[in-house]
Amino acid sequence: MITQVRLSQFRCFNSLDVHTGPQRTYVVGKNAQGKTSILEAICVLLRLQSPRTSTVTDLIKSHTNGFAIEGIFNDTRLSYRHTGEGRQISLDSKLQPKSADYLAVARVTWFANTDLELVKGGGALRRRYLDFLGVQSVPGYKKALSNYERTQRSRNALLKEGRPRREIAAFDSSLIESGELLMEARSELCASLGPLARTSCEEISGQADNLEIRYRPGCNGPFAEALAASRDEEDRLRQTVCGPHRDDIEVTLNGLKASAFASEGQQRSIALALKIAQARHIENLHGRPPLLLLDDIFGELDTERRNRLLTALPSQAQAVITTTFLDWVDNTASDAVFLLSDGRLTSGK
């Protein structure tokens, strides 16, 4: 459970102290006040990555040279500082040269308006959905993903230059080894997520919709064989044409392709169900749910579905929720409520 977070020179904030309750914490405010940045800072502190950008310098407040985030999760004090000299992370004031121990402290599931693209967007977003979960739940996943991406970039550079096949083949073994691990892990993740997503969608929709997801690998047959068979096409297109960078998830609702036939409200419910499934998978695997960060995701849902969504969240999970208003919530008596305005948080109770 996260209990406090301090931001310095992060996004729009010079400084901000955030205190959270043990169950749900609502941050309420108008648009463009920085609500999303508060959740982003918590995610960056706990997972060392932003769900909004891959460029760390985007997180630094304008006209400053770096940012710092500190917080307490359970009894552990975490610190993440970024300056022109790079990243510095510490646990209980002890510097961490590697991230493995740091990342083992806490797990996170992020909900955002952009999650709708999990249903109607391209495959890259669904791969990122699997990767964010895989890094938190599958041993060796982060290393395999980094190795695959690095090897694919090197291999593609040679293909683009039209280099001899023997030079390109020097990368095949590493590409296949890391690629096979990724595809096996993603297949198993989808198999575990499928029933959880289906149940979550039923809970949000009031049993009205049947959601199914299936893993669709980025090659036909074993990766090594598919890679060898794709050489002519690789030479023609000058890029690696099969592998986990082409993986996808097929999403259907009531037997039909969700991106084409589901309504806007149904697509929103599907996206939320996929994220709840992510949280429940982590809870099943590690014995406790992740921290839930929900960023103003209720817009296209009617009041009944909004409250069913809150009920569908893992019951023992701590959640930090941003919203523009609270009059739709059935009961906030046991929740912490804060109002955000002009860069300051004040109690809403």
For residue range 185-201, what is the model confidence (pLDDT) as tens digits?
999 999 999 999 999 99
Are the CB atoms for 317 and 291 separated by under 8 Å?
yes
Are the CB atoms for 279 and 289 separated by under 8 Å?
yes
Name the strand (E) or helix (H) holding 153. helix 141-161
Average pLDDT, the chain: 94
Mean pLDDT of 232-255: 97
Q: Categorize the per-residue pLDDT at 298 as very low, low, confident or very high, splitting at 50, 70 and 90.
A: confident
pLDDT of residue 34: 95
Closest CA to 308 of 187, 161, 212, 205: 205
Q: How far is the C-alpha of 158 from the C-alpha of 164, rounded, in Å?
A: 8
Highest mean pLDDT among 42-56, 201-215, 321-335 belongs to: 42-56
E-strand stretches of 258-343? 291-295, 319-323, 336-341
Q: How far is the C-alpha of 105 from the C-alpha of 320, rounded, in Å?
A: 18
Amino acid sitting at position 212 = E
pLDDT of residue 85: 86
Q: How far is the C-alpha of 132 from the C-alpha of 74, rounded, in Å?
A: 22
135-171: pLDDT as tens digits: 999 999 999 999 999 999 999 999 999 999 999 999 9
Is pTM beyond 0.75 here? Answer: yes
Which range has the worst mean pLDDT, 5-9, 241-245, 283-287, 309-313? 309-313
Closest CA to 128 of 261, 283, 274, 267: 274
Please tell me the CATH code under which domain 1-106+290-349 is placed: 3.40.50.300
pLDDT of residue 334: 85
Say yes or no to pLDDT of 274 above 90: yes
Q: Categorize the per-residue pLDDT at 303 as very low, low, confident or very high, splitting at 50, 70 and 90.
A: confident
Say yes or no to pLDDT of 301 above 80: no
Are the CB atoms for 213 and 251 separated by under 8 Å?
yes
pLDDT of residue 305: 81
**HSE, side-chain direction, 13 A CA sphere, residue 335:** 20
**HSE, side-chain direction, 13 A CA sphere, residue 151:** 22
Separation in Å, CA 135 to CA 42, 72, 138, 237, 324: 17, 22, 6, 31, 32
E-strand stretches of the chain? 2-10, 13-19, 24-28, 67-73, 76-83, 86-91, 94-95, 108-112, 211-216, 248-253, 256-257, 291-295, 319-323, 336-341, 344-347
Q: How far is the C-alpha of 211 from the C-alpha of 44, rounded, in Å?
A: 31
Domain ranges for the chain: 1-106+290-349
Q: How far is the C-alpha of 316 from the C-alpha of 274, rounded, in Å?
A: 18
Convert 235-248 to b/e letters by CB count within 10 Å (16 or more is b). Answer: eeeeebbbbbbebb
